[in-house]
A and B are shown apart, each in its own frame.
Chain A
Amino acid sequence: MSNLKTFTPLAWRNLWRNPRRTVITLIVVSVGLWSILFFNSFINAWGESGKEAVLKLLIGQGQIHAVGYMDDPSIDRLMSPPGEPLVSALNAPEIEAWATRLQLPGVVVSEYKTLPVNVVGVDPEAERLLSSIPDKVVEGRYLKGVEDDGVVLGLHIAERLKTGLGRRVILMSQSTDGSLSEQSFDVVGLFDADKATEDFYAFTGRRAAQNFVGLNDEIAQIVFTIPEVDMLDPIIADLAATAPDLDVRSWKQISLFLATTDTFMQSFIYIWLGVVFSLMAIGIVNTQLMAVFERTHEFGQLRALGMKPRQVLVLVALESTFLIGFGVLIGIVLAAGTIWTLTDGVDLSAFAEGLEMAQAGQILYPEYDIPGFVVLSLIIWVLGILVALWPARRASKLSPVEAMRHAT
């Protein structure tokens, strides 16, 4: 402890003896950390926007099904439309919007081709409040109401079917009695999303879909969105308690892929941290070894005066602690500044084609990730001090006689 009091002022002043080297180390550390922190928030924004975009498409933040539907989404595992008290729970203020859907596995047939598709019967009014599909209609129109018996197809599947707006297609699906229903539908709209979604879903009015397979008012799912993402788990728990005989799930349990991507993005940060830190370590060790070497004579004298090897180690380690700590602070300020200038969003629409593949939104909103900042900065600081211990050990191991024979 008294060591620290003795050496702190000395270490601090030693930092400024070779301003050039100090500045180089500061740049290495601060730019390294800056890149890590910025990358972290950019990746987070990327993952977030991708997730948002996907959830916004159809999944919502959570869904309710009949038990067993998720494992076997067939017409035998439907449920009645929600009654009380579920409707009241769904109308609670912490839920932004909700909608009911019927979803039927089936095929779509044109004059040229038959392709598998999920026929989704929707309530267009409710759908507009929680799904981005209605806004993605680029030709024709979206559905008008639950009774609307037009079909809205994806651009890609329409192209593969060689059909188009104003043409007719036949949808086929299993009906309630086990026979195959088929019915022709007018193509009233085409939507433009990613190819997988375009190929996977065909939309029609919910009532029309029910009529098509001979159902009364059964539905396959209730989908809902919430404004406060942090509230998701309690809301899910609440709904599950309200509807104990139904299967209430959050998006994480529905889209495993998305949830995994989330984790992957996180580990990517640590890979980047490893790469950047390796480069930083080379810089730190080099400059600090040089600093120690230049002061060989002085360390010899300090040892002659009666400083113990361990005290020399503490002195040099303290210098690194300050230096790297300073670099870390600058890095944090740089990163915070960069992110601040970008809080209005980074418009990536120029790369929109590529982003569609990565399933990210077109505008990213980097945010301050305070725990991330703290953890990553501490990691860099501690690792930096650890690698700087090597030069410090070299200094402490110098024999005073040898050190003083060394020219100043």
Chain B
Amino acid sequence: MTKPIVTCRGVSKTFGSGELVVHALRDVDLNIMQGDFATLAGPSGSGKTTLLNMIGALDKPSSGEVEIDGQPLSGLNKAELSELRLQKIGFVFQAYNLIPVLSAQENIEFVLQLQGVDAAERRKRALEVLAEVGLEGTGHRRPSALSGGQQQRVAVARALVSKPSIVLADEPTANLDSGTSAELVELMSQLNRDLGITFVIGTHDPSVIERSSRHIELLDGRISSDTRI
């Protein structure tokens, strides 16, 4: 917990205009520190996904500034934001994370291909992360031949393989049964402890929140509490 990986300063986000304007985020200040295993909770519509999108350079704030590894996002164009995501951020979404026509291993390697990593190195790293998420021997399978839990593990593996500064997960366990959810959370928490990977997880799931080392509550687009456990 030395330096902030992501800094949000006075971040607000509104959608629409006039009568229909929605304040998804209001003046949010937040630092995500190296090694955080943070959960982001709050009622539906409180702004969890919107905040994760800001942190992940997927969207720009209406006002305020977001910095990733000290780099302000405001001056970057679409291609530069893509490059930044490619190098620094891993994503795990709720479902349908994987490219259906590629095998698990190819899905993982795809990100490395975008990064320009050569074939031998790609293969080596893909097999490594597959082992780390407990999926040795299933790399050749297409997503449709994997269970929901396995698919999320592959997604985690893909998020890790590019050696990002931070992994963002939006409701990663929402489509999993409780047993599988618990396993996935255990995996992420272990990766956080053993490899020092920083996670921010948007979730309602108490079993996830239970495991976190930092818990942030959102209400109506504002941070209502931010506690370290």
**Which residues of A line the B interface, CB within 8 A?**
2, 5-6, 10, 13-14, 16-17, 297-298, 301-311, 399-401, 404, 408
Contacts and interface: CB of A to CB of B under 8 A. Distances in A.
A297 B98 CA distance: 11
Given A10-B101, A408-B96, A401 B114 contact: no
B99 interface: yes
Interface of B: 53, 56, 58-59, 78-79, 82-83, 85-87, 89, 91, 93, 95-97, 99-102, 110-111, 113-116, 158, 162
* 9 nearest A-B pairs in the assembled complex, by CB-CB distance: A306-B86, A13-B101, A308-B82, A6-B113, A306-B85, A308-B79, A401-B59, A408-B96, A400-B58
Contact of A306 (B53, B82, B93): B82
Contact of A13 (B56, B102, B111): B102
Given A10-B101, A10-B102, A297-B96, A307 B114 contact: yes
15 contacts: A2-B116, A5-B113, A6-B114, A13-B101, A13-B102, A298-B99, A301-B91, A305-B86, A305-B110, A306-B82, A306-B89, A307-B82, A307-B114, A310-B79, A399-B59
B110 A303 contact: no
A302 B158 CA distance: 12
Given A6-B113, A401-B58, A305 B101 contact: no
B58 A305 contact: no
Contacts of B78: 308-309
B11 to A, nearest CB: 15
B139 to A, nearest CB: 16
B114 A306 contact: yes
Contacts of B110: 6, 10, 305
B91 A304 contact: yes
B82 A17 contact: no
Contact of B111 (A297, A306, A308, A309): A306
The dominant DSSP class at the A interface is: helix
Contact of A304 (B58, B101, B162): B58
B82 A309 contact: yes
Given A2-B116, A6-B114, A404-B93, A308 B99 contact: no
Contacts of A297: 96
A289 B116 CA distance: 30
Nearest to A302: B99
Contacts of A404: 93
Most buried by A among B82, B87, B93, B162: B82
B88 to A, nearest CB: 9
A298 B96 CA distance: 8
Nearest to B159: A305
Contacts of A305: 85-86, 91, 110-111, 114, 158
Nearest to A297: B96
A309, A400, A408: residue with the most chain B Cβ atoms closer than 10 Å: A400
A69 to B, nearest CB: 74
A306 B84 CA distance: 7
Contacts of A298: 96, 99
Contacts of B58: 304, 400-401
A305 B97 CA distance: 10
Nearest to B116: A2
Given A306-B82, A306-B87, 7 more contacts: A301-B91, A304-B56, A304-B91, A308-B83, A400-B58, A401-B53, A408-B95
A5 B59 CA distance: 29
Contacts of B116: 2
Contact of A17 (B79, B95, B97, B100): B100
A389 to B, nearest CB: 18
B16 to A, nearest CB: 13
Contacts of A309: 78-79, 82
Contacts of A304: 56, 58, 85, 91, 93
A408 B96 CA distance: 8
Contacts of B97: 301
A322 B142 CA distance: 23
